[in-house]
Amino acid sequence: MNNQMKYVFVKNVQVTPVQAEIEVTVYPGKLDAGTEIRGRLVGPTCISTSTVEVPYPLRESSRETEPTPLIAMHVVIPEPCLWDQQSPFLYHVILELLQDGKLCDQKSLMHAITK
């Protein structure tokens, strides 16, 4: 069966110089036992600075079927590079939605970690 991500929200939950906790919420068109989200945050990247990009896997933290189907995922980034005007560090969010083992949808977006 075909499925897709209707909406994706990325939120900075807690940000300190030591670590940043990021939550990614995916709203699929259909959510059942065969629905799976795989994802990662990759970064940091910055146009004005050379960086080493690290992939941080997203881990599922919850799923809800009612009233609106959603899958919440989270990741903790140690010693995050924060975005500012002089050094606009960004992290690449890469998501895949699988339905019954079949890749149905992919999303990619950029995210800034700020206080």
> Which residue is listed with tokens 């019954």?
100
pLDDT band of residue 2 (cuts 50, 70, 90) is confident
Question: pLDDT, tens digit, for every residue of 10-33?
Answer: 999 999 999 999 999 999 999 999
* H helix or E strand, kind and range, residue 90: strand 90-99
Classify the phi-psi angles of 17: left when phi > 0, otherwise alpha if psi is within -120 to 50, otherwise beta. alpha
Using CA atoms, how far apart are residues 105 and 44, in angstroms rounded to an integer? 24
Listed in sequence order, the residues at least 6 apart from 13 whose beta carbon sits closer than 8 Å to its beta carbon are: 21, 22, 23, 74
Question: pLDDT, tens digit, for every residue of 53-70?
Answer: 999 999 999 999 989 999
Using CA atoms, how far apart are residues 75 and 87, in angstroms rounded to an integer? 22
Q: Which domains does the chain have, with CATH numbers?
A: 5-111 (2.60.40.10)
pLDDT above 80 for 1: no
Using CA atoms, how far apart are residues 37 and 16, in angstroms rounded to an integer? 27
Cβ neighbour number for residue 4 with a 10 Å cutoff: 13
Using CA atoms, how far apart are residues 71 and 64, in angstroms rounded to an integer? 7
Listed in sequence order, the residues at least 6 apart from 86 whose beta carbon sits closer than 8 Å to its beta carbon are: 48
